[in-house]
């Protein structure tokens, strides 16, 4: 049978539209296990993430989710829609901020705005796209924001 086949992928360079906001789905509820596993895997021994008793003495009154987990999840939520199979490289982050803490049980949502794009002058068939990622929790509060530059493939030429 010659059934039509569709492969899930991110967008090629040409498909990104400036100032467009891409809303990512699904969302992700953060668990205590997520936080402890990520924190210990990355050798971050910060008591604010691991020591429940000590964390009760802080202004937050409880452990907080590791901000690097928040950053990773925010970017990760965008992959299927934007860069799955089309990214060449993550070039870097120009700014990252965490204006509000994330706690166990919070649900992260993310959206991405396309800030700029240009063809690469040194890599034919590739272009640079600058994203602004924003993550919110279920209350709508922004918990993370990052500006990220990526190198993406251009659409393949039709032979």
CB of 21 within 8 A of CB of 14? no
Q: How far apart are CA 8 and CA 15, in angstroms?
A: 15
Residue with tokens 């690469």: 120
Considering the domain boundaries, does residue 93 fall inside one? yes
Cβ pair 132, 146 in contact under 8 A? yes
In-domain check, residue 2: no
Q: How many domains are contained in the chain?
A: 1
Q: Which domain holds residue 23?
A: 13-153
Q: Is 43 left (phi over 0), alpha (psi -120 to 50) or beta?
A: left
Q: What is the pLDDT of residues 25-65, one digit of tens each?
A: 999 999 999 999 999 999 999 999 999 999 999 999 999 99
Domain with 49 in it: what CATH number?
3.10.129.10
pLDDT tens, position by position, 90-136: 999 999 999 999 999 999 999 999 999 999 999 999 999 999 999 99
């Amino acid at each position: 049978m010659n059934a039509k086949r569709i492969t899930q992928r991110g967008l090629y360079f040409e498909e990104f539209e400036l100032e467009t906001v891409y809303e990512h789905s699904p969302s992700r509820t953060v668990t205590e296990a997520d936080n402890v596993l990520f924190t210990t895997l990355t050798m971050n021994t910060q008591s604010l993430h691991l020591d429940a008793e000590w964390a009760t003495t802080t202004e937050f009154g409880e452990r907080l989710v590791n901000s690097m987990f928040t950053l990773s999840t925010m970017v990760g939520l965008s992959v299927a829609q934007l860069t799955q199979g089309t990214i060449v490289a993550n070039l870097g982050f120009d700014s990252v901020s965490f204006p509000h803490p994330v706690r166990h049980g919070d649900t992260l949502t993310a959206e991405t705005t396309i800030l700029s794009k240009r063809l690469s002058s040194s890599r034919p068939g590739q272009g640079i796209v600058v994203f602004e990622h924003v993550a919110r929790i279920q209350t709508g509060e922004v918990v993370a924001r990052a500006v990220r530059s990526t190198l993406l493939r251009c659409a393949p030429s039709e032979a």
